[in-house]
Structure 1
């Protein structure tokens, strides 16, 4: 299994020359199987989803998108991604929370806030509640984790002999057996690292993690490899280089991570 990092920024996109090396698009990760470069499973649909077409070679997307939560930076790419919005696409969109998933999405994506509602997306769309089970050939587990502002899920994906845990918005200062179970023994943990230790008060208030919080959580869960994502929108390339110099592994937009590799 490999992870194509299409968006690694948090809160808002970060355009401009100071955000080139790590990338400015918000959360989106495509799961690539060992035997193919064509993704069928995507985690989150931030503005990074716009880059999905580069992996598909002009073909439509036919697969599943699993959302961690419904904050804008995790779903705003949906109506701006051509491979998911064409007559021959097939998309199963899994949203967290109870009730009508299509109706939940329409609260953000409908006039007057947006020109179309979810029914305006072309192709075969199915709106589902949270994924839990076999999705596109992978075993997917989701569980509610601590993050401010609505139901938020962490995601565990198992397949190709490895395991990935994806918790891009998480407040591990609030201990959670469910979150620890998702990340337990993961070959790769892709985790919220939006704030520095000096910003602990802000991290706590926003329901996010500092880098120190993420490292402690990874150790607690026995994760084999930690990659920090959801970078603060004001954290420039040079500032992130300073963080990387401490030995932390940082997600970079455009990178493809081999799971299980050192």
Structure 2
């Protein structure tokens, strides 16, 4: 299983020369269990604009905050006559919930106006999708239902928690992430920004490290970088916390890369 990081920024896109090395697109990860084409996509932030297409497969939304859905109507891969998409949305009445944000006067079209063949379904605790076992559970994050996702394929496990506040209590998330080969986790804030992280339901780097330790995750990849955090600042943070990796847009990662496992 390989993962292509299409967007690793949080809250808003971050354009400009000081954000080139880590990237400015918001949350989106393409999962490639076999072959070259993406089989499954996690989140649909502005990073989904870089997805090759036309895309045929499921897109799993962690939640419906703007930075995780903004890319849907702007991606030629999914808004395409030949696209075949199952959009998996957390919470009750998934299509109606998404339509509240994606409809006039907020946006020119509703979700059903996207080109191609679309189905809109709710998240489930366990299911098989695109040849992967997908496990989902509600996790701690403010502002509506948010789910974490665990993907299992070929004996490898990846857990995706891009918006998560483990310091506020998250037993379901700990169960989901237990023993993960690769944990992709919210690391938007520094420890001295703890009050802000708590207020918005996000994690500091040290929160994420403590969570990974509790769960026995073998490798921690921090994502959802603050939109004002420059490349140089993220480089400095990577040196300050060498037990974590800092996600870079455009990188391809595999959970089986044991050389990057966290030190114990």
Q: Normalised by the size of structure 1, how large is the TM-score?
A: 0.96
Is 1:256 matched with 2:252? yes
Aligned to 2:12: 12
Aligned to 2:36: 37
Residue 166 of structure 2 aligns to a residue whose secondary structure is coil
Residue 253 of structure 1 aligns to a residue whose secondary structure is coil
Matches within 5 A, 1:191-210: 191-210=185-204
Matches within 5 A, 1:76-155: 76-99=70-93, 101-131=94-124, 132-155=126-149
Deviation at 1:40, TM superposition (A): 1.4
Structure 2: how far apart are the matches of 1:163 and 1:255? 18
List 4+ stretches of structure 1 deviating above 2 A: none
Deviation at 1:175, TM superposition (A): 2.1
Structure 1: how far apart are the matches of 2:200 and 2:110? 29
Structure 2: how far apart are the matches of 1:123 and 1:40? 17
Structure 2: how far apart are the matches of 1:21 and 1:160? 31
Matches within 5 A, 1:190-229: 190-229=184-223
Is 1:241 matched with 2:235? yes
The number of aligned residues is 255
Q: Normalised by the size of structure 2, how large is the TM-score?
A: 0.95
Pairing partner for 1:172 from 166, 177, 192: 166
Residue 233 of structure 2 aligns to a residue whose secondary structure is helix
Structure 2: which 5+ residue stretches go unaligned?
260-264
Aligned to 1:46: 45
Deviation at 1:160, TM superposition (A): 2.2
Deviation at 1:136, TM superposition (A): 1.0
Structure 1: which 5+ residue stretches go unaligned?
54-58
Aligned to 1:56: none
Deviation at 1:202, TM superposition (A): 0.7
Structure 1: how far apart are the matches of 2:97 and 2:169? 28
Residue 13 of structure 1 aligns to a residue whose secondary structure is coil
Aligned to 1:162: 156
Aligned to 2:22: 22
Structure 1: how far apart are the matches of 2:199 and 2:169? 16
Deviation at 1:19, TM superposition (A): 0.4
Q: CA RMSD in A?
A: 0.9
Structure 2: how far apart are the matches of 1:178 and 1:257? 25
Structure 1: how far apart are the matches of 2:41 and 2:82? 18
Structure 2: how far apart are the matches of 1:29 and 1:213? 22
Structure 2: how far apart are the matches of 1:193 and 1:151? 19
